[in-house]
Chains A and B, each alone.
Chain A
Amino acid sequence: MKILPKEAVRQSLFIVLLSAVLGLLVNFFHPHGVKMAMNRPSPRYAADAALAPELSPVHVEGREDDPVDEPAVTGAPIFISKQQAKSLLSEGRAIAVDARLGADYTAGHIPGAINIPYDDLYQYSERLETLPKDKWIVNYCDGPPCDLGEMLAYELINMGFQKVAIYEQGFDEWKDSEPVEKGGQ
């Protein structure tokens, strides 16, 4: 009894070859295909225009019944830089949400951020419900390879939030140059 029969090895090599050809071919034509590159792609930030404040609706007395256009569903969170996160937060147009565990949040977080740990998401449904729909929600965690912020952002999109942003470089980048708040939960 041979542990590694030649026949099986030969077949599996053909299988690898077939899968490689199929995979690379499909990837080439795939709308969500991966680009072959030596280095990890740099973060893809949204254009500043995507974050521009909308014109507030004009309220005319006696005309409250006018039909209001529903805002378009974006269907995807946008990626923002530290600078973009900073200006959104300082202008009061966004709320930062820290998706890390409570202990990490307590050790230090972006000032004013709310803690909603993605890993225990369903224990925090009350906090999720209090998030404003008219402000940007800036999700973050430690920065790559942490993807809790990104996961939480997609969850918020699924819940119907439309102004959802991901500060991908996260707390690792923030704490190097920006003020940090400690404690709380």
Chain B
Amino acid sequence: MRKAADVSFVALRIVLAVLFIYAGMIKVVNVEAFADQIDNYRLLPYLINALAAAILPWLEIVCGSLLLLGPWRKGAALGLAVLNVMFLIAVTSALARGLDITCGCFSLADAGMRIGVTKLVENILLTAGAFIVYYRTLLVPLKSLVQA
């Protein structure tokens, strides 16, 4: 039983880490397009959106890599949890304002990536995943596999 919990936690951590590395790498390819997408949310002044467009993808890549590889795993878990909460707030506010924009989550130009209930559910699941990882990495670390 304990072992099953350990294995599923490690699997969750790997999936989350790989997802975020992937999400970051896609955005690094075209920072300009990503800046447009963030700016479309109309949440913050343009300069902050431009800075976020340059930095956020690397934050995703660095946090994902550290969560996967080990050193500074606690900081990475905290970073991912905070990032996910931010994304969730942004998507929720866009949905509440009825904005018809692309999410800017896992793609720079693709059908089916627009803000909607599916995106909201996806973000809630990711945030939940990030919090489980945070909880297990920082607060109640599992003894066996996690520390291996």
Known: A22-B62, A32-B32. Is A15-B50 also a contact (CB below 8 A)? no
Contact B54 A15 (CB under 8 A): no
Known: A19-B58, A34-B54, A40-B46. Is A9-B78 also a contact (CB below 8 A)? yes
Contact A10 B75 (CB under 8 A): yes
Of A1, A11, A40, which is within 8 A of B75 by CB?
A11
Known: A11-B74, A32-B29, A39-B46. Is A24-B54 also a contact (CB below 8 A)? yes
Chain B: residues with Cβ within 8 Å of the partner, total of 47
Chain A: residues with Cβ within 8 Å of the partner, total of 45
Binds A, one of B1-9, B33-41, B118-126: B33-41
Contact mask for chain A residues 1-25; partner B; CB cutoff 8 A; 1 contact, 0 none: 1011101111111111011101110
Chain A proximity of B113: nearest CB distance (Å): 9
Cβ–Cβ < 8 Å partners of A36 in chain B: 47, 50-51
Contact B100 A146 (CB under 8 A): yes
Chain A interface secondary structure, helix, strand, loop or mixed? helix
Chain B interface secondary structure, helix, strand, loop or mixed? helix
Chain B proximity of A37: nearest CB distance (Å): 6
B68 located at the interface, meaning its Cβ lies under 8 Å from any Cβ of chain A in the complex: no
Contact mask for chain A residues 97-114; partner B; CB cutoff 8 A; 1 contact, 0 none: 000000000000000000
Contact mask for chain B residues 40-59; partner A; CB cutoff 8 A; 1 contact, 0 none: 11100111001101111111
Q: Which A residue sits closest to B38, measured CB to CB?
A: A34
Contact A8 B46 (CB under 8 A): no
Chain B proximity of A123: nearest CB distance (Å): 12
Q: How far is the CA of A12 from the CA of B28 in the complex (A)?
A: 21
Of A20, A34, A145, which is within 8 A of B53 by CB?
A34
Known: A19-B58, A22-B58. Is A8-B50 also a contact (CB below 8 A)? no
A140 located at the interface, meaning its Cβ lies under 8 Å from any Cβ of chain B in the complex: no
Can you report 14 residue pairs joining A to B where beta carbons are below 8 Å apart? A1-B139, A12-B78, A15-B75, A19-B58, A23-B58, A24-B55, A27-B31, A32-B32, A33-B54, A37-B46, A145-B42, A146-B101, A147-B102, A151-B102
